[in-house]
C-alpha cells in the first residue's frame, strides 16, 4: 500500500469522523482501503458495487470536502471494487469510476466494469416510492427489559438475553435462539436485546427483521440480479435479529443465503439472535447444516407463565397504564386466562375499555363477562394438562397412572395419545411435552406421534380412540 495514499486517507478519515455519526463512520468508511495516490488522484478500494453506490448517493459531498482539503480543488477519486463471492472464490474488478458530477469532483472514465448493474439503490430497506429511505434497526423501543417481567417460565431466556445485550458477540450464547408458543414474549425479548444494545453501544449496527420479510427481500434481490449486494448488506451488521425463523422452512434458496450470512457474522464475532415457535429439534424442512448452527449457542424456551407470574404481568400492565383494579378481579383474570401473555394483557385492556366506555365500575362480574369471551375465542389453544385430563377420563384412569413408567399396553397407548394431541393442539416443544407427560424425552414423544399415526391407519379400534378424543378436544 502506498504510504502517501495511506497518509492522505488517514487525514480524510479524521475529518470525516468528526462530521458524521459513529455508526455511519464505522459502517461506510472503516472498510475502505487506500490503494494509491497519483498527483491529486486518490484510488480507494471498496467491498462492493453496492458500497460504492451508497457512498456516491449519501456521502459524496463529505468525500469531496475531505479530499479537496488535503489535495486541493482539482482532487479526484477513483474507486477500485473488490467483493468476495460468499459462495466460494473471489470476484475482482477495478473501475475508474467518476464521482457524482453534481458533487463537483472531476470525472474519470469507467475502464473495466465486470458487468452492468442497475443504478437503483441496492439497500433492501428502501421502501418503493420513497427514494433512498433507509430504515435503521427497526426496533420498537416500547419492547424493553423493564417491562418484560421475569418468572420461572422465562428466567433462562431473559437472563441469556441480558447477557447478550451486555456483550453482543462476546458470549457463548451465539446464536441465541428464543423459542416458545404464541404470545409468550419472543418478539418482545428480541426487540429488548436490540434496544439495550443500541443504548449501550451506539456505534453498533443492529437490525431486527421478520424472517418473512427477509425472504421477500431475497426473492426481490434474485429478480434484480443483486444477490451479492443483498448478502453484503447483511454482512455489514454487528447484530442481526431474525424473528420467526421457522418461516424459512422449505425455502431452500433463502436458507442457503442465510447460511452464508450467518457464517460470516458468526466467524467475525457478530451477534445473531433468532426466535422460533419451536425448538431446533422440532423444526421441519430446515437444512441440517443450518439447524446445527442454530444449536451452536443457546436455545432458551419461553413457557406458559404460572399463576404468580400472570399476576405480576397484570399488575405491571395496570401500573404502566395508570389504572387501579381490585386484587380479586386481577386474580380472577389470572386464574382463568392461562394461554399466553398476549391474551392476558388483551383481557385487561378490554376490561378497562368496557369500564371506560360504559362508565361502569370494574367488578368481578364484568371481568367474568370479558373472560368468558376470551376463553371462548381461544378455546382451541388447549393446555397439556387439559389434554392429559381428557385422555385419562376417556380411558378411565387417573393422570398419575397415565404418567407412570408402566409398560401395560393400554396405558402406553393412552400416554402416546396424550403426547400426540399435545403436539397437535399446543405449540409446546417435544421436550416440553415429554417433560410434562411423565418426564420423558423428546425422542419418546416423537416415537409416540409416529406410533399413533401408524395405528390410526392400521387399527380400526385405535382409529376410533383418535376420533373420539379429537371431538372432545375440538370445540
Q: Is residue 143 part of a domain?
A: no
Where is the domain boundary, 377, 397, 424?
377
Instruction: Report pLDDT for 311.
Output: 79
Adjacent-strand bridge partners of 276 = 179
Residue 132 forms part of a structural domain:
no
| Helix, coil or strand: residue 92 | strand
- Joined grid coordinates for residue 357: 366506555
CA pair distance 397, 425, nearest whole angstrom = 22
| In a shared domain, residues 333 and 406 | no
Domain boundary pick from 273, 302, 331: 302
CB 247 within 8 A of CB 277: no
**Could you read off the pLDDT of 379-433 as tens digits, one per residue?**
455 789 889 999 998 998 989 999 999 889 899 999 999 999 999 888 788 888 9
Q: Cell numbers of 98, please? A: 467518476
Cα 90 from Cα 74, distance rounded (Å): 34
Residue 88 belongs to a domain: yes
3-state SS, residue 177: strand
Same domain flag for 262 and 317: no
DSSP tag of 95:
-
Mean pLDDT over residues 25-51, rounded? 82
Supply the pLDDT for residue 43. 86
Residues 272 and 340 in one domain: no
Question: Looking at the structure, do residues 79 and 182 belong to the same domain, yes or no?
Answer: no
The mean of the pLDDT values for the chain is 78
**pLDDT higher at 107 or 332:** 332
CATH of the domain at 349: 1.10.8.60
In tens, the pLDDT along 214-250 reads: 988 888 888 888 888 888 888 888 899 999 898 888 8
Domain membership of residue 201 (yes or no) is yes
Q: Is residue 204 part of a domain?
A: yes
Out of 37-51, 313-327, 360-374, 412-426, give the one with best mean pLDDT: 412-426
Domain that holds residue 89: 3-103
C-alpha 86/C-alpha 233 separation (Å) is 12
Both 296 and 372 in one domain: the answer is: no
Give the total number of structural domains in the chain. 4
Note whether residue 120 is domain-resident.
no
User: pTM for this one?
Assistant: 0.52
**Is the same domain home to 187 and 207?**
yes
Separation of CA 69 from chain center: 44
CATH of the domain at 441: 1.10.1750.10
**Of the residues 302, 322, 349, which one is the last residue of a structural domain?**
302
Over residues 455-464, the mean pLDDT reads: 89
CATH code for position 200: 3.40.50.300
Q: Which residues pair with 243 in a beta bridge?
A: 210
Domain shared by 28 and 164, yes or no: no
Residues 369, 417, single domain; the answer is no
Same domain, 197 and 327: no
Residues 373 and 388 in one domain: no
Average pLDDT over residues 338-359: 71
Residues 316 and 398 in one domain: no
- Chain-centroid distance of CA 457 in Å reads 39
- Give the pairing of strands 33-38 and 239-243: unpaired
Tell me, what CATH number does 8's domain have? 3.30.300.180
Residues 273 and 348 in one domain: no
Residue 142 is assigned to a structural domain of this protein = no
In sequence order, the 6+-apart residues with CB closer than 8 A to the CB of 52 are 46, 79, 81, 97
Amino acid at each position: 500500500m502506498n504510504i502517501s495514499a495511506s497518509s492522505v486517507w488517514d487525514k480524510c478519515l479524521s475529518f470525516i469522523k468528526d462530521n458524521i455519526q459513529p455508526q455511519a463512520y464505522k459502517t461506510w468508511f472503516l472498510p475502505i482501503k487506500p490503494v494509491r495516490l497519483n498527483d491529486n488522484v486518490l484510488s480507494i478500494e471498496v467491498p462492493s458495487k453496492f458500497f460504492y453506490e451508497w457512498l456516491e448517493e449519501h456521502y459524496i459531498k463529505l468525500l469531496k470536502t475531505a479530499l479537496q482539503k488535503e489535495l486541493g480543488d482539482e482532487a479526484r477519486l477513483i474507486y477500485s471494487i473488490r467483493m468476495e463471492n460468499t459462495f466460494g472464490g473471489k470476484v475482482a474488478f477495478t473501475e475508474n469510476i467518476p464521482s457524482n458530477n453534481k458533487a463537483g469532483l472531476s470525472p474519470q472514465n469507467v475502464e473495466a466494469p465486470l458487468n452492468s448493474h442497475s443504478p437503483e439503490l441496492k439497500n433492501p430497506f428502501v421502501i418503493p416510492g420513497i427514494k433512498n429511505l433507509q430504515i435503521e434497526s427497526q426496533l420498537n423501543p416500547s419492547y424493553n427489559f423493564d417491562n418484560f417481567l421475569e418468572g420461572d417460565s422465562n428466567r433462562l431466556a431473559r437472563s441469556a438475553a441480558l447477557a447478550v445485550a451486555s456483550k453482543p458477540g462476546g458470549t457463548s450464547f451465539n446464536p441465541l435462539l428464543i423459542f416458545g408458543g404464541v404470545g409468550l414474549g419472543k418478539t418482545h425479548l428480541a426487540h429488548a436485546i436490540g434496544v439495550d444494545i443500541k443504548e449501550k453501544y451506539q456505534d453498533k449496527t443492529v437490525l431486527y427483521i421478520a424472517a418473512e420479510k427477509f425472504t421477500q427481500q431475497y426473492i426481490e434481490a434474485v429478480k434484480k440480479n443483486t444477490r451479492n449486494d443483498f448478502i453484503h448488506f447483511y454482512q455489514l451488521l454487528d447484530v442481526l435479529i431474525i424473528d420467526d425463523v421457522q418461516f424459512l422452512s422449505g425455502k431452500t434458496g433463502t436458507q442457503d443465503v442465510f447460511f452464508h450470512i450467518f457464517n460470516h457474522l458468526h466467524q467475525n464475532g457478530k451477534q445473531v439472535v433468532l426466535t422460533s415457535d419451536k425448538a431446533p429439534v422440532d423444526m421441519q424442512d430446515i437444512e441440517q447444516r443450518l439447524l446445527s448452527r442454530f444449536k451452536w449457542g443457546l436455545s432458551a424456551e419461553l413457557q406458559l407463565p404460572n399463576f404468580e407470574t400472570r399476576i405480576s404481568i397484570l399488575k405491571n400492565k395496570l401500573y404502566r397504564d395508570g389504572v387501579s383494579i381490585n386484587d380479586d378481579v386481577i386474580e380472577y383474570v389470572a386464574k382463568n386466562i392461562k394461554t399466553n401473555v398476549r391474551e392476558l394483557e388483551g383481557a385487561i385492556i378490554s376490561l378497562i375499555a368496557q369500564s371506560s366506555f360504559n362508565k361502569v365500575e370494574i367488578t368481578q362480574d364484568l371481568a367474568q363477562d370479558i373472560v368468558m369471551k376470551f376463553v371462548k375465542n381461544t378455546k382451541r389453544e388447549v393446555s397439556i394438562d387439559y389434554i392429559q385430563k381428557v385422555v385419562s377420563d376417556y380411558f378411565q384412569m387417573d393422570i398419575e397412572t397415565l404418567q407412570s413408567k408402566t409398560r401395560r399396553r393400554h396405558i402406553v397407548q393412552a400416554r402416546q395419545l396424550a403426547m400426540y394431541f399435545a403436539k397437535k393442539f399446543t405449540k409446546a416443544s417435544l421436550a416440553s411435552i415429554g417433560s410434562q407427560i411423565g418426564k420423558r424425552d423428546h425422542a419418546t414423544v416423537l416415537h409416540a406421534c409416529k406410533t399413533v399415526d401408524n395405528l390410526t391407519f392400521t387399527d380400526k379400534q385405535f382409529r376410533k380412540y383418535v376420533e373420539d378424543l379429537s371431538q372432545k378436544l375440538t370445540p
